[in-house]
Every structure is written in C-alpha cells, then in structure tokens.
Amino acid sequence: MRVKVTSNKHWVSTKDTVFLGLFEGETKLALQGLPDEDREFLHDSMRSLSFTGKADQVLSLRLPTKINAIAVGLGPQEGFSLAQLRNAIASAIKAANKAGVKEIAFSLAISELFNKSDAAKSIAEAAIMSGYKFENFKAEKSQQTVENIVLSDANDEEKKAIEAAADAGQLFGELNIKARDLVNTPPSIATPIYMADQAKAIAKDCGLALKAYGLKEIQGMGMNGILAVNSGAHAEPRLVVMEYKANSDRTIALVGKGVCFDSGGLDIKPASAMDTMKMDKAGAIAVMVAMEAVAKLKPSINVVGIMPFVQNLVSDSSYKPGDIIRTMSGKTIEVLNTDAEGRVILSDALHFAVEKYSPEAVIDLATLTGAVIIALGNNVAALIGNDRGLVSKLIVAGSKTYERLWELPMFEDYAELMKSDHADVKNVISNTPGNPAGTITGAVFLSHFVGEAKWAHLDIAGTAWANEEKGYNSKGATGFGVRLLAQFLMDYE
C-alpha cells in the first residue's frame, strides 16, 4: 500500500473514492464545499438511512459526479482523539476492500483538534494495519484491494513535514503487520533457529550488526536459565543480538521474551490455554522489528536488541519443579513452576544486556503473566520500573501510538514474597493457584538481574493477542510494542 500527500482539495484528490468523516449531529455542515448535486444526494441518503454520524456508522455510496464516497460516523466532536480517528480509518478501509476500491483519499482537515502531521501519521498507519489478516496458509484469501492512500488538503508550507509524518506512519504500519505475521507464524515453523534467521534477514537488509549465539556459546556463557527452559526441546535455543550504532556513547538496551511455543513444561497448561501459545514470542518479535524501525529512523543513540529464543516443551529432559538454576549472573533460581519460564530466560538476557553494554536504560517486553489480564484486561499493558524519567517517557510514547501503559508499584514489601529458602530467588511465590500480585512479583523477580541500571518492564500478555477483530487489529497477534518502542526512541533525549 502506497501513501501520497497532496495539496489538492479533498473532493478532487482522487477519481476513485473519498472518505468522509462525519461528527455526530454535524453531518450537514460537514458536507459544505462538495458539488451541489453530491451534497444533496449525500444529505438525502443519510437522512433516509438514519445516518447521524454516530461512531462506527458506515455508508458507501456512488455519487452523481461519478465518484465513490465512504462516510464513517466519528461520534461526538468534543474529545475526539487520534485513537478514534484510527478506528474510523479502519472502518473505511474495510468497507473499501469489500467494495473493491483501489484508491481512497482522506482529508487532513478532518478535525481542528490535532495538527495535520499527527493526522497524516495516524491515517497512514491505521490504513495499513487495517488491511491485515493472517491468511498465509489459506487457499482462498480475503479481498484486499486498496493499493493507494491519498492524504489531501496539505498546505504547501506544511507539505514537507506532513510527508515526513506520513512516511513515519507508513513505516509504523508496515512494521506492525510484519510483527503480527511473525507472531502468528505457527510453532512448527517458528523455531528458535527460524527466528534467528528472520533477525539475520532484517539485519542484512537494514545494515545492523547481528550475532546469533548458538547452543555451545550459550553454554559457555553460563546462561543456564535459557538452557533449562529449552531442555525439553529437540531444537536448539538461540540468543539473538542486534546492534544499531550511532555516533554516541549512550546505549538503550531492548530485551524481549522469545518463547516460540509454551506448553507450560511439566506444569503443563490445559488445552484451552495452549493453542495460542505461539504468541509467547511476541516480546522478542516486538524488539526484533523495532530494531528495523531504529535502523530506518536513525535515532542519535545506540540501540541494542536482545532476544532469547527457546521452546518450553515436555520430555524426559525437561526442567523440573524443585530444580535450582545458576544463572549467568551467578544468582540462583529455585523453580517452583515450569510455566513461569519467561522470567527464567530473561534473567540471563537482562544480565547479558547490563554486563556487556552498560546501557543508559534497559526496557524489557514480555508476555509474562496471566495476572496482568485479570488486572488490566486486553487493552492496556502493565509497566513497572525503577526510574521515574524512563517510566514517564514510555507512558508518553504509548499514549502517542495508543499502546497504552499503566504503571504498577514495586514496593519493597513485594520483594519478600519472592525470597527462596534454597536459592537467591524463586520463580513464583508458590505452586498453588491464587498467588497475590502476580504481575508485580514477576517484575520483582526480573529486578534481581538488572543491577543498578535504569530499567522498565512491560508485561504485554494481555495486549499482544486479540481474541476478536476490533478496529485496526485483526484476530490474533496485535504487534503491540513495535510502534511504542519506535516512538520512544524517536523522542528519546
């Protein structure tokens, strides 16, 4: 899908289809400036079909001047946000694909509540994300006909800035669906070695440095957390490291949980909780694809992406409840539950990040706990960190991309819950249901392995996967975190 910015007026910016975003109760006013015959036809059609501009109302029409229009209700104008705009764009793109539209124009003057550059970025990314469905293995695929997006009403003096914003939106949208594709790829294909190969391809295309550590190297570094979790699998683990080098002595480290499939190990999951567990690599993939964004956006700070890839499977060699693991840091973990495996592999990856790169800040993304879904649902990720400035910057970045974060506390009291009688730390409070503060104690565990570094943990277990289609998210992987990380690094000072 291509995105083009034009200074042409909306109504003459395309010969195919125009988008009309109409606020509730203000549809008549919004039609001013249209050719008389089209305005009258639209007004009569909306009245006869009870189209009032309520959110999610969609109306597709062929107008007298031989142009198509897709009208979408935006709801009340007061408080209208970029997030609501993205959802309206999603409705339009779905209607356009259904109608066989190839080109659709969107006016950048859609609302006075935000500037045209912000509108351009949001429209571009939403249009691209809305057309995605994971159908790589289907004989008959859904109709995806929209090829061109036209952004009209760009003032000449603003056009350069608007084009840059549209380019960023297109990049964000394309990388979001790339991440979705990788997360959705089934575990029979998406092994640790496969994921390392995907990272290699990105690094080669974008000029990033890459090192994929194999089994013997992981053993040599004493990364026994990674080795333990992968011990039940035939496929070898990989630790993938991607580096972007700017002219800087400052580094940000991104670390992502990459469990390519999580059966739960010997503490096996029920069948109802296992079929979506290809999504347990979503944190690592968010980091991997964000590194592609970094290579293209070229921030002024060094960025390293660190991704441990494993499979948590059941066999006679699987790690076991009661095991004690000596991690790369030298600290030991008592395993009480093999299904709390993500934090075990991150113990090595986080220590590796801190020891090797001495980063200014470390950010990890992980589908870490089911508890976060109980606490925050499927639309907000948990954020826990040890530095106020870092936490605040992540929250701001998430608000811009509508990948919302909610900070949870990490008071000293919680540390007591993770103390082990036999090791330095245990991987869960206990092996019985109903442990308190599961998301927070997961972060407390991780905090043991970041030393004195500024650090933030994003628990994306609820936001990485959608159980139903909604807005610009299709059912399945959401690509959560890619745009957030890219925005954070664009804004970072």
Q: Give me the tens of pLDDT residue by residue for the chain, a chain 493 residues long.
A: 999 999 988 878 888 999 999 999 877 656 666 788 988 899 899 999 999 999 989 999 999 988 899 999 999 999 999 999 999 999 999 999 999 999 999 999 888 888 999 999 999 999 999 999 999 999 998 888 999 999 999 988 899 999 999 999 999 999 999 999 999 999 999 999 999 999 999 999 999 999 999 999 999 999 999 999 999 999 999 999 999 999 899 999 999 999 999 999 999 999 999 999 999 999 999 999 999 999 999 999 999 999 999 999 999 999 999 999 999 999 999 999 999 999 999 999 999 999 999 999 999 999 999 999 999 999 999 999 999 999 999 999 999 999 999 999 999 999 999 999 999 999 999 988 888 999 999 999 999 999 999 999 999 999 999 999 999 999 999 999 999 999 999 999 7
Q: Measured between alpha carbons, how far is 18 from 156 in angstroms, rounded to an integer?
A: 21
Closest CA to 445 of 455, 237, 404: 455
Is residue 17 a contact partner of residue 70, using CB atoms and an 8 Å limit? Answer: yes
Helix locations, 335-453, DSSP H: 342-357, 371-376, 388-401, 412-417, 438-447
Name all domains of the chain by residue range, CATH numbers in brackets.
2-137+145-178 (3.40.220.10), 186-491 (3.40.630.10)
Residues sharing a CB contact under 8 Å with residue 275, sequence separation 6 or more, in sequence order: none
SS3 319: coil
Tell me the catalytic residues. 269, 343
Closest CA to 240 of 227, 255, 261, 223: 255
Amino acid identity, position 368:
L
Helix locations, 57-191, DSSP H: 82-99, 116-130, 159-184
Q: Measured between alpha carbons, how far is 212 from 134 in angstroms, rounded to an integer?
A: 27
Torsion angle (degrees, nearest 10) of CA 53, 58, 59, 60? 140
